[in-house]
Amino acid sequence: EPEVTQTPSHQVTQMGQEVILRCVPISNHLYFYWYRQILGQKVEFLVSFYNNEISEKSEIFDDQFSVERPDGSNFTLKIRSTKLEDSAMYFCASNYHQGGEQFFGPGTRLTVL
Amino acid sequence: AQRVTQPEKLLSVFKGAPVELKCNYSYSGSPELFWYVQYSRQRLQLLLRHISRESIKGFTADLNKGETSFHLKKPFAQEEDSAMYYCALSSGGSNYKLTFGKGTLLTVNP
């Protein structure tokens, strides 16, 4: 059964460094999402992406964040200059139909030191 | 603004006992409600959604618009039901982002 994959599973970085989190959505899916979960808090929506552009972004998704679908398979989240408060679990999700079940990846744990 | 509240952070029951995980929502339109589950060391996965009105793994949930609730119920809990349960709301429109509650950790004791 196809699954969303994410790499790396754990990323440790220094404050101020750039990180790129990678996701491979399920191959025929059209809608892509990033969520994050700070330890002990709820899963929060960051951004949704469709037809090669952002369809919605949250207040969290400021100028430090960007997303890209550089080829037909990858969907990346870039944080330009990481802050301590960016430490969280980042989940990628995808679906085929708007409103359909969102399929989640296993997450990338980002630790900013 | 849309909000999902799960009042119980932890819920512990014995095997065979009924279980109810509470979820209340706040949204001015017609939401779509989901329950996602995360078993230990596994990814978030959909358990059920209100529009399908299915029973999955013995769980059911009914959308009560009057009480703005979508409680998850199972008459006889099993040990393998131990997991983190998240209630989520989708507002639809041009975007179907999910708004999650904080989650309830269910432990089913033998």
Per-residue pLDDT of chain B (110 residues; tens, 9 = 90+): 889 999 999 999 999 999 999 999 998 888 889 999 999 989 999 999 887 777 789 999 989 999 999 999 999 999 999 999 999 998 766 568 899 999 999 999 99
The token pair at A11 is 């990323």
Q: What is the mean pLDDT of residues A59-72?
A: 92
The token pair at B57 is 């793994």
Choose among B109, B101, B110, B105: nearest CA to B39.
B105
Distance from CA of A101 to the nearest CA of B (A): 7
Residues of B with CB under 8 A from a CB of A: 32, 36, 42-46, 49, 86, 90, 92, 94-103
Cβ contacts (< 8 Å) between B42 and chain A: which residues? 106
Cβ contacts (< 8 Å) between B94 and chain A: which residues? 55-56
Q: Report the mean per-residue pLDDT for chain A.
A: 94
Phi, psi of A85 (to 5 degrees): -75, -5
Side chain identity at residue B8, one-letter code: E
User: Which of A99, A104, A107 lies nearest to residue B96, judging by beta carbons?
Assistant: A99
Q: Which of B43, B89, B94 to mutate to test the interface with A (most CBs of A within 10 A)?
A: B43
Structure confidence at residue A70 (pLDDT)? 86
pLDDT digits (tens, 9 = 90+) for A10-23: 999 999 999 999 99
* Cα B12 to Cα B105: distance, rounded to the nearest angstrom: 8
Q: Report the mean per-residue pLDDT for chain B.
A: 92
* Cα A47 to Cα A54: distance, rounded to the nearest angstrom: 7
